[in-house]
Amino acid sequence: MLVMKEARDGRTTPELEAVAREEGIDVALLAEQVANGRVAIMKNANNDHRPVGVGEGLRTKVNANLGTSSDASDIEEELLKVDAAIEAGADAVMDLSTGGDIDHIRRAVVERSTVPVGSVPIYQAAIEARRDGRGMVNMTSDEILDGVRKHLDDGIDFVTVHCGVTREVAGHCRRTPRLADVVSRGGSFLMEWMSYNEKENPLYERYDELMDIVGEYDATISLGDGLRPGALADANDAAQIAELTVISELVTRARERGVQTIVEGPGHVPLDLVASSVELEKSLCHGAPFYVLGPLVTDVAPGYDHIGAAIGGAVIAMSGADFLCYVTPAEHLRLPTIEDVKEGVYTFRVAAHAADIAKGVPGARDWDDRFSAARRALDWDTMMELCLNPEKAKTFRDAAPPSDGRLCSMCGEYCAVHKMSGVREREGK
C-alpha cells in the first residue's frame, strides 16, 4: 500500500509517525501534506533507512552526492564518504557511481547508509550498453526501465529520472543555442539517445510503466532537470522552462496514481532570479517538493563553488525550496575527497539552517538563541557542545589558544562580551 494512498484514506503509517516525530509536527497535518503531494517521504521497503520527509513546512534537507567515476572507483573510500556525510548531518546521499563495479558499490552504499539513498538509474543501462560494446546509444527502452527496477530492488529510496527531456523540449536547445548546452549527465545521455535513434525519451513515453515500478517499492520519483542551466547565461531559458512544463504534467499523473514525486531544479542561476525559480516550480508543479543543486550564483569560482552554491541554496530554500543537494569545493574539478564531502555537508547545513530560520520552521531559531546565550556567558563548553561542527571549532580555537581561557585570541583582553559583563555588573550594584 502506497503511503500517499494511506494518507489520503486517513491512515497513519510507521513512516508518517517517524517523520512527524522527527520534525516535531502533528502527524495528521503531515499526512495531509503527503496526501496532497506537498511532502514526500523518502523510503523503500527493501531497506531499514530512516524515512526522511521533504517538502512544505518541514526542515530543509541536505543531500550529499557521492559515487565513483571512471577515473576513481575505490569502494572503501566511497563507504567512508557515506559515513562522513551522515556524521556531518546529511539527510540523504546519492550514489552516482559510474566507475568500477557499480552494482556492488550501490548495494554496499545502501547497506552502509542509515539515511535515504538516491540514484540515477539511467546510468545503469548506459554503462552496461557501453561496457558490452554496443555503445550507449544502443541501450534499449526495456533496459532503461529494467535499470530503474534493479536500483529499487537494491533498496534505493529515490530515483532521479529525466522524464521531462522530450524531443520537443530538447528542440529548444537547438533552436536557441545555449552557452553551456546540456550539463546533466543523465540529460546528455538521453539527448544523445534521442538524437541518434530519432525516438522519444522512453522515460516519458513509458511513464505509466515507470510509475508502476516505483509504486511497487513505494519509493519516490525525483523528476530530474536534464536541461538545467550550466551557466548563468542559460538560466530560466526556454529549454529549462519547457522541461518544467512537462514535469508539471508528470507530477499530476504521478499523484493520480499515488506515487510520490519531487522535482529537481537548477543549476546555475543569477542571484536575482533565484527566488523566482522556486516560485515558478511551486506554481507549475502544484507545490511539489523542490530539490535543487546549489544553485550556483557565479560560474567563475571553481574551488569555491560550495560558497556560490551555499549562497544560492540559502536564498532558494528561504524562498521555498525544500531539499538542497550540496556542492563541494571540488565541483567542476575532480571527485570530492572525504574532507570535501564533510565541508560540503556542513556548508549546506549552514545554508539550510539560515533558510529555516528565515522561513520560520518551528524550533530552528531556538538553536541560535541557546548558542548565543552561551556566547554571552563566555561558556565555551556549551558553545563547543552546541555548535555546528564541534571538532572544527575546537581545532580552530586550540590552534591559537587565548592566555585567558574565558576569552579567545581574536580580541584577547579587549573582548567586548567580557567588557560588557563588567559594565553590567557595576551598573547592577
* Binding residues among 45-74 for a copy of itself as defined by CB under 8 A: 69-72
180: three-class secondary structure by DSSP: coil
Quote the cell numbers at residue 59: 526542515
Among 18, 280, 284, 350, binds a copy of itself (CB under 8 A): 350
Assess contact for 24 and 363: CB atoms under 8 A.
yes
**Taking the complex as a whole, how short is the minimal distance between the CB of residue 59 and a copy of itself, in angstroms?**
14
Site membership for a copy of itself, residue 403 (CB under 8 A): yes
Among 156, 318, 324, 361, binds a copy of itself (CB under 8 A): 318
- Tell me the window of 53-61, 143-151, 214-222, 383-391 that interacts with a copy of itself (CB under 8 A): 383-391
Residues between 124 and 143 that touch a copy of itself (CB under 8 A)? 126
* Part in contact with a copy of itself (CB under 8 A); list of ranges 29-37, 188-196, 201-209, 258-266: 188-196
For residues 269 and 375, give the distance between their C-alpha atoms in angstroms, rounded to a whole number.
36
Sign of CA dihedral 323, 351, 312, 315: positive
Judged by CB under 8 A, the residue of 359, 378, 379, 382 near a copy of itself is 359
- Could you say which residues in the range 236-255 bind a copy of itself, by CB under 8 A? none
291 phi, psi to nearest 5 deg: -115, 115
Closest to a copy of itself by CB, 147 or 230: 230
Q: Among the candidate windows 74-82, 144-152, 212-220, 360-368, which touches a copy of itself by CB under 8 A?
A: 360-368
- Considering only residues 70 to 109 of the shown chain, the ones binding a copy of itself according to CB under 8 A are 70-72, 98-99
24 binds a copy of itself (CB under 8 A): no
373 Cβ contact list (under 8 Å, min separation 6): none
**Which 29-48 positions form the footprint of a copy of itself (CB under 8 A)?**
none
Nearest to 51 by CA among 86, 16, 101: 16
Which of 100, 135, 139 lies closest to 122 in space, CA to CA?
139
Instruction: Give whole-number Cα distances, 176 to 15, 191, 227, in Å.
Output: 45, 15, 13
Report the distance separating Cα 330 and Cα 114, nearest Å.
Answer: 25
Radius of gyration of the chain, Cα coordinates, nearest whole angstrom: 23
Contact (Cβ atoms closer than 8 angstroms) between residue 325 and residue 292:
yes
Give yes or no for residue 195 binding a copy of itself (CB under 8 A).
Answer: yes
Residue from the set 76, 175, 208, 424 that interacts with a copy of itself by CB under 8 A? 424
User: CB-side exposure of 39: number of CA atoms within 13 Å?
Assistant: 29
Among 16, 35, 203, 351, binds a copy of itself (CB under 8 A): 351
Strands in 179-243 per DSSP E: 220-223
Q: CB–CB of 214/222 below 8 Å?
A: no
Q: Least CB distance from residue 271 to a copy of itself, whole Å? A: 4
The interface region with a copy of itself, picked from 16-24, 47-55, 160-168, 416-424 by CB under 8 A, is 416-424
Which of 333, 363, 385, 406 binds a copy of itself (CB under 8 A)? It is: 333
39 vs 318, beta carbon nearer a copy of itself? 318
Identity (one letter) of the amino acid at 331?
Answer: E
Q: Which of residues 246-305 bind a copy of itself (CB under 8 A)?
A: 268, 270-272, 297-304
Please tell me the count of residues contacting a copy of itself according to CB under 8 A.
Answer: 107
What's the one-letter identity of residue 346? Y
Q: Which of 64, 203, 232, 254 binds a copy of itself (CB under 8 A)?
A: 232
**Other beta carbons less than 10 A from residue 377's beta carbon:** 13
Residue 156, C-beta contacts closer than 8 angstroms, at least 6 positions apart: 44, 95, 106, 110, 117, 118, 119, 121, 219
179, 199, 362, 363: which one contacts a copy of itself (CB under 8 A)?
179
Q: Which is nearer to a copy of itself, 208 or 300 (CB)?
A: 300
Closest of 25, 27, 5 to residue 14, by C-alpha:
27
Least distance (Å) between residue 219 CB and a copy of itself: 24
